[in-house]
Amino acid sequence: MLSRRSLFTTLILPLALGACVTTQEEMLVKAPRIALTDAARYGALEDNGFRIPAADPDDIKPRNVRQLVNNPTGQEPGTLVVDPRNRFLYLVQENGKALRYGVGVGRAGLEFSGTANVGTKREWPSWRPTDAMIAREPAKYRPWAGGMAGGETNPLGARALYLFKDGKDTLYRIHGTNEPWTIGEAVSSGCIRMMNQDVIDLYRRVPNGTKVVVFPG
């Protein structure tokens, strides 16, 4: 009999092709269970006509739970900081604190680093692979060259923040994912992925124009 995760992978994962999708075998070792109070943050949601399923507590490592920590970034309040090496995203707060989220990051050679700004924000964004992705893996990405509408199987999840540098789209996104067990791993085609419940929380807190600092991976 197929396990829950194997059945999900068999039926759903082939639909989620695109920029920022998983590009390695899914992780088979389950993480320690998080506290019930933390698990409640990742319950099922109804959002703009779409349903976000509850994240399985076995899929969430305790270190990746959204939490307030001492600010380790040296950046000013209001700044978003991505630390790909440690696989965290920080929203810097006042009084030496930061709101920390666990994230999935891009594989080596595919990630962006430097300073950018949130150029635009979208709820349930559509997606299409970049021309470079189509050229690199045409069999995988060409079927989606016309784009994929936003929705529950879209690899960008419930929200996306689009990063711009010097007024130009970097093609680098901070976005949700329908694969919460990949948080904390280096699995995407360059973007930063978050649990849908976390990216909705972040989206509410971050205005357009927010400074984003991405450390080298």
Which of the following is catalytic: 175, 179, 186, 217?
175
Identify the pLDDT of residue 178: 87
Two structure tokens written together for 47: 């959002």
Residue 59 appears among annotated catalytic residues:
no
Whole-prediction pTM value?
0.81
Which of the following is catalytic: 65, 191, 195, 202?
191
Identify the pLDDT of residue 27: 39
Closest C-alpha among 130, 194, 188 to residue 159: 194
Residue 175 appears among annotated catalytic residues:
yes
Closest C-alpha among 187, 214, 205 to residue 93: 205
Identify the pLDDT of residue 37: 61
Tell me the C-alpha distance between 154 and 17, whole Å.
8
Sorted by where each starts, the structural domains of the chain and their CATH numbers stand as 4-214 (2.40.440.10)
Helix H or strand E segment including 7 = helix 4-11
pLDDT digits (tens, 9 = 90+) for 160-179: 999 999 999 998 999 999 89
Residues of the chain with pLDDT under 50: 1-19, 22-31
Query: Where on the phi/psi map is residue 203: left (φ > 0), alpha (ψ -120 to 50), or beta?
Result: alpha
Identify the pLDDT of residue 184: 93
Identify the pLDDT of residue 132: 79
